[in-house]
Amino acid sequence: MVDALDLGSSTFGVGVRLPPLVPSLHGFGRFCLKPCDYLHDGVGNKMIKTATTQISNCEHRIDVIVPRAEYQRVHQEKLNELLAKNIRIPGFRPGKVPQSVVARQYADHLRQQVVSDLLEAHYGTALKESGLLPAVQPEVDLAEAEAGGDFAFNILVTSWPDVELTALEALAVEIWDVSVDDHDVDGVIQRLMDSQIRYTTEEKAIEQGDKAILDYVGYIGDEAFDGGSATDAELVIGSGQYIPGFEEQLEGAKAGDHVQVNVQFPDHYQAGALAGQQARFEVDVKAVQRGEKCASEDELATLLGFDDATALREDSRRKLLLEAEKAAWEKNREAVEKALLEKHDIEVPQRILDEYVQRSLKRYQQRLSEQGGGPLSDEQLQAFVARAQQVEAENIRLTIIYRALQQQAELELDEDEVRKEVEQQAAQYPESERENYVNWIMRNEEYRGAVESTVMERKCVNYVLSQAKLTHVTKTISELQAEIDAEETPTEA
């Protein structure tokens, strides 16, 4: 059995790429199984014979038979292409090699080329006409053919399972109404006051809140380690930018001083080679700068490019309202998904789960590699796979439910909805770059597909909210953020 994306590993060594099939929340159709059909495939005006067999609840095999005459036609085309190249075979003059000799000499090569062409010509048609929608990439198996018989292959398809949706009117969902009040705006202004600090160089000893300009080299033993050196580094003392103990040992130093800083890297430091290590930093203090906050809101507004404090507050409120809308949506989506999962007990087909876990693992390994990390240990790999199986099983169940909701509610996408979503994403970029971003996303099949799935997910959630029994909970955005922070703060054992 070989994956349909790449048949290069098959017995015949065929190097053909068949159309990838990416699971999505939209574009699915009903299963339409047919015991035996003769299909016109639109390639060479030939007929193929297919038979679809259900192996299990979500597993189907499509047997495809291509007439021997079609195989012979393609074989002759490939043989003619070889003959046109005036290939050289010892004992024959160029261009005078008999067809039978070329066919014998290049039998394996011709076989690979013919099988590749036939699969590319008939695979998609057989799959489409079966009425099956694969949940993961189908597998293709080249059947053993009798001498002089037809060419045959089969396609193993794992499809999405059906699910009978519970009555949404009986679904109880607690939803959040998130608001913004003056206290929330005050909090934003205070955070801006604390962060928008002007620094001026002074002849003084370093203390909390000062910015130090530093050169340093880090050592493990007597060896300088990669990533442990910097020139003209800016460090605000008390900010917690560096590992514990580093900043405190600089207090009291002045410009021109040399300080030896001794620290220990945390046991779970992101650079694994440094985790738990004792280190020494040779630090030269080049300058000390005192920080000064704005004396008033109007001064802060001018620093940030606003006309006055009123304009700054209006902008802060507008941004908070957008954050509140987004926060409410996320909480309500989570509530809907939790309620749906509790009401629908769905068995996830193993092959779909395996495929999703492998994709997750591949993405994680790629990120590790990009960050300079090494391969996972056996223990780390087992832990990741165990966690991924839990997460992906839930994601798959939700995908199955969303597909059923889309079908039940007859939800569809239109171009304007997709473009509006992309334009909202583009708002984070400078105005001069937004149009190019929108056009690029709309032309890119992969990224556009991700946006379409996001839009369809929102339509499904809103459909559930329009049908379910709702209980409203009102929170300010500050209260909601405090709850989120409390949930994310780890508790001591």
Measured CA to CA, the distance from residue 225 to residue 202 in angstroms comes to 32
- Tell me what pLDDT residue 22 has: 37
CB atoms within 10 A of CB 246: 20
Same domain, 210 and 333: no
Choose one of 158, 189, 223: the last residue of a domain.
158
What are the tokens at 125? Answer: 């048609």
Same domain, 21 and 115: yes
Q: Report the helix count and the strand count for the chain, using DSSP H and E.
A: 12, 13
Residue 452 belongs to a domain: yes
CA 143 to chain centre: 36
Domain boundary among 236, 268, 292: 292
269 occurs within a structural domain: yes
How does 92-111 read in b/e, with b if 16+ C-beta sit within 10 Å?
eeeeebeeeebbeebeeebe
DSSP string, 264-315: E--TT-SSTTTTT-EEEEEEEEEEEEEEE--SSHHHHHHHTT-SSHHHHHHH
pLDDT of residue 78: 87
Q: What is the pLDDT of residue 4?
A: 32
Between the alpha carbon of residue 227 and those of residues 150, 200, 217, the distances in Å are 64, 29, 9
What is the domain extent for residue 387? 168-180+307-488
329/287 same-domain check: no
CA distances from 484 to 110, 150, 191, 479, 481 (A): 63, 64, 18, 9, 5
How many folded domains does the chain comprise? 3
Q: Report the alpha-carbon angle 411-414-416, nearest 5.
A: 135
Q: Give yes or no: residues 10 and 140 share one domain.
A: yes
Q: Is 256 exposed, middle or buried (0-12, 13-18, 19+ CB in 10 A)?
A: exposed
| Residues whose CB is less than 8 angstroms from the CB of residue 419 and which lie 6 or more positions away in sequence, other chains included | 438, 442
CA 159 to chain CA mean position, Å = 22
- pLDDT value of position 148: 59
What pLDDT does 27 receive? 32
Q: What is the pTM of this model?
A: 0.67
pLDDT at residue 146 in the model: 54
Do 112 and 176 fall into the same domain? no
**Tens of each residue's pLDDT in the chain, 493 residues:** 333 323 233 333 333 344 444 333 333 322 222 333 334 444 443 468 889 999 988 999 999 998 888 888 988 888 888 887 777 777 776 767 788 887 888 888 888 888 888 888 888 888 888 888 898 889 888 876 555 578 888 999 999 988 999 999 999 999 999 999 999 999 999 999 988 888 999 999 999 999 999 999 999 999 999 889 999 999 999 988 899 999 999 999 999 999 999 999 998 887 778 888 999 999 999 999 998 999 999 999 999 999 999 999 999 999 999 899 988 999 999 999 999 999 999 999 999 999 999 999 999 998 888 877 778 888 999 999 999 999 999 999 999 999 999 999 999 988 999 999 999 888 888 888 999 999 999 999 889 988 999 999 999 999 999 999 999 999 999 888 888 777 766 544 3
451 within a domain of the structure (yes/no)? yes
| Same-domain pairing of 435 and 340 | yes
Supply the pLDDT for residue 19.
Answer: 44
Which pLDDT score is estimated for 145? 56
CA-CA distance, 65 to 4, in Å (whole number)?
17
Cβ-contact 142, 439 below 8 angstroms: no
Which of 292, 316, 341 lies at the terminal end of a domain, its last residue? 292
d(CA 463, CA 25): 15
Element (H, E) at 399: helix 378-409
Asked if 374 and 468 sit in the same domain, the reply is yes
